[in-house]
A = this chain, B = another copy of it.
């Protein structure tokens, strides 16, 4: 594709006259080389949803072109964000402690990866504050073998030497008993457990780690360790009361994140990160040079979100979520989630009724993982590749351990795109059935 682009930027200003040619390039060079995440047949990865209210909010944010690094640098950027994060906490019935009116609060990060990292940095800071004799090289983080790759990436960035990947139960959830043994062993070895990341909806199969039981282990063995809950994908479903059970125990967590840019109609990037104790977070990240000092910050009466994140600068990202919430309302968002879960249930029923296929994991909300029945990894892979080769659908895969702990090739169907429909799910199933022969 690059061959179609010149090696050098233009020398002279093009101005309006050049725009038809620029837009031709968009159509002819760029559009054919995109993966169409908004296609009705896209079921890969997790959805990256958007909506016109979110696009409008983002456009307004770009056009206003203001900086939200400090309250002072545009009060509305901070204040709307605080309010919208509180709205989302109430809408999902998150623990009180995550509200800005408590000791905690929420902030928009770009991605869950950043939330995972920021939580880890705050966790280390708290541990070294509470146990000043701790040496950094003894710190140990824990998450499951099914957790997102961002946990490992965060340890590399933060310079954490020890990460334990806790084996999962047969349903692909973190096994608290194994976590217990690992922590006991590490403490016996003179190490310091400081961070546990539980996943509320893993990427591979949507598995829900038992937050409450993990918190119990933490409380008993390592009460100073930080418990972060990664609900990047599944957290959107918590707008529906009937799906909130997977956040049981969240009131024991120190932080939580979820991404409306995945499944809640808010264009990327928009990760909601909540902490129970904002003072610790701020203390771990705050640096105030003279050129950023101002009376509002000095008063301590305002939130400066730069101290809640890695970057200094920040966009007015809350506008798009504010527009989404005002446009759809709670009921509109619930209907959006529920329809996708229904369609996934339909797909699950077809798989259970068809002896050519088997589920690789229990259906999780709108994610269905399956494979060809029997020991047929190569055939399952060929099926996925054949389906993608039609250009009508896009599926991605993972591997999941079977009952004998062998990693098995698995097709993931993640329903939730704004252009997915029951018809497009049925078309997918027909296609797979035909190709499976």
Q: Is A211 an interface residue (CB 8 A)?
A: no
Q: Is the pair B13, A332 in contact by a Cβ cutoff of 8 Å?
A: yes
Q: Is the pair B285, A9 in contact by a Cβ cutoff of 8 Å?
A: no
Q: Is A420 an interface residue (CB 8 A)?
A: no
Q: Is the pair B157, A315 in contact by a Cβ cutoff of 8 Å?
A: no
Interface residues of A in 127-162 (CB under 8 A from B): 135-137, 148-150, 152-153, 156-161
Segment with Cβ contacts to B, from A14-22, A179-187, A219-227, A423-431: A14-22
Interface residues of A in 346-388 (CB under 8 A from B): none
Copies of this chain in the oligomer:
2
Q: Is the pair B9, A87 in contact by a Cβ cutoff of 8 Å?
A: yes
Q: Is the pair A37, B55 in contact by a Cβ cutoff of 8 Å?
A: no
A294 to chain B, nearest CB (A): 8
Q: Which residues of B contact A117 (CB under 8 A)?
A: 157, 310
Q: Which residues of B contact A289 (CB under 8 A)?
A: 148-149, 203-204, 398
Interface residues of A in 29-71 (CB under 8 A from B): 29-31, 33-38, 45, 48-50, 54-55, 58-60, 62-67
Knowing A22-B326, A60-B26, A76-B34 are in contact, say whether A65-B267 is a contact too (CB < 8 A). Answer: yes
Residues 1-14 of chain A: 1 if any B CB is under 8 Å from the residue's CB, otherwise 0? 11001011111111
Residues 110-140 of chain A: 1 if any B CB is under 8 Å from the residue's CB, otherwise 0? 1101100100010011000000000111000
Question: CA–CA, A153 to B319, complex, Å?
Answer: 27
A304 to chain B, nearest CB (A): 12
Q: Is A191 an interface residue (CB 8 A)?
A: no
Q: Is A245 an interface residue (CB 8 A)?
A: no
Q: Which residues of B contact A299 (CB under 8 A)?
A: none
The residue in chain B whose Cβ has the minimal distance to the Cβ of A407 is B290
Which of A5, A29, A136 has the most chain B CB within a 10 Å cutoff? A5
Question: CA–CA, A284 to B18, complex, Å?
Answer: 42
Question: CA–CA, A22 to B54, complex, Å?
Answer: 13
Q: Ordered nearest first, which 7 A-B pairs have the shortest CB separation?
A: A159-B159, A33-B76, A13-B332, A111-B311, A50-B65, A9-B87, A10-B329
